[in-house]
Structure formats: structure tokens, C-alpha cells
């Protein structure tokens, strides 16, 4: 009979990126974008989950920290972009909580400017000369 603890459903994934101390960093090419839904104290939360092709192989970044989510929303990495995330500090909060601080850099896979979500792509040449202003 197999050992209970050998059940594959109980095994933890080892390819997740963690940030424990200031200076921890990940760098990789974005290969997939999705969301991760979880329940925290009875409240359902949704976080971005980004698959990266790193020098150490495929890794997954789940952005559960508020500051990291805000920076990712600001930079909007896309598939093919190189994403660099560095933990720059930790603020101690009441109740034993922490607020991690991050720096996010996105190197675009293309030189074309990224349009805001929901808008038509930007034309690098600008509007035609006879277009109304």
C-alpha cells in the first residue's frame, strides 16, 4: 500500500518565485498570464499569476502582495516581454503583517508602444496630416 504522504495531490510545487528578503529578484521572459483565485479570511481574492522562462527554468510568479499587484498593473507585462521584479524592502505592520516593497521593470518584446487596455493600438507614425485634432 502506498504511503499517504506520497500522494501527488499533496506535493507542493517547487517552481514558484518567493521574495523573502530585500534584494531577492527574479528575471524572465513572460510565457503566460492568468489569474489565481484564493480565499483569505473568508474573502475571495484574485491575483495575477505570471509564468516566466528564467535562467533556472520555468517559474511562476503569483502577485499576492498589494504593492506588487499595483506595479504590475502599471507596467502591464505581456507575453514575450522580459519581466524583472526586485524586492526592495519590508515594512512591518500592526498585527504581525508585512508590506513588501518592490521594483518592477519590463523590457518590451517589441519597440512598438503599448496601447492602454481596451484602446486601439497606437500608431508610431502618429495621425495622418489631414486628421482632425
* Domain contains 130: no
* Domain contains 114: no
Radius of gyration of the chain (CA): 19
* Domain contains 121: no
Q: According to the model, what pLDDT value does residue 111 have?
A: 59
* 60 contacts 51 by C-beta, under 8 angstroms: yes
Angstrom distance (rounded) from CA 126 to CA 123: 5
Number of independent structural domains in the chain? 1
- Is 112's pLDDT higher than 90? no
* Domain contains 132: no
* Domain contains 1: no
Q: Which domain holds residue 29?
A: 19-107
User: What residue has cell string 507596467?
Assistant: 75
Angstrom distance (rounded) from CA 120 to CA 117: 8
Q: How far is CA 102 from the centre of its chain?
A: 11
Q: CATH number of the domain that 67 lies in?
A: 2.40.50
* Domain contains 50: yes
Q: Tens of pLDDT along 34-84?
A: 999 988 889 999 999 999 999 999 999 999 998 999 999 999 999 999 999
* Domain contains 59: yes
Give the predicted TM-score (pTM) of the model: 0.73
- Is 115's pLDDT higher than 50? no
* Domain contains 6: no
Amino acid at each position: 500500500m502506498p504511503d499517504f504522504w506520497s500522494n501527488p495531490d499533496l506535493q507542493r510545487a517547487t517552481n514558484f518565485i518567493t521574495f523573502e528578503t530585500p534584494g531577492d529578484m527574479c528575471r524572465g521572459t513572460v510565457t503566460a498570464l492568468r489569474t489565481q483565485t484564493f480565499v483569505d479570511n473568508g474573502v475571495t481574492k484574485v491575483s495575477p499569476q505570471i509564468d516566466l522562462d528564467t535562467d533556472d527554468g520555468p517559474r511562476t510568479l503569483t502577485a499576492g502582495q498589494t504593492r506588487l499587484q499595483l506595479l504590475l498593473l502599471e507596467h502591464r507585462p505581456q507575453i514575450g516581454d522580459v519581466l524583472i521584479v526586485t524586492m526592495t524592502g519590508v515594512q512591518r505592520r500592526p498585527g504581525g503583517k508585512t508590506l513588501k516593497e518592490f521594483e518592477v521593470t519590463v523590457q518590451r518584446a517589441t519597440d512598438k508602444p503599448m496601447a492602454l487596455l481596451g484602446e486601439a493600438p497606437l500608431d508610431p507614425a502618429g495621425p495622418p496630416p489631414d486628421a482632425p485634432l
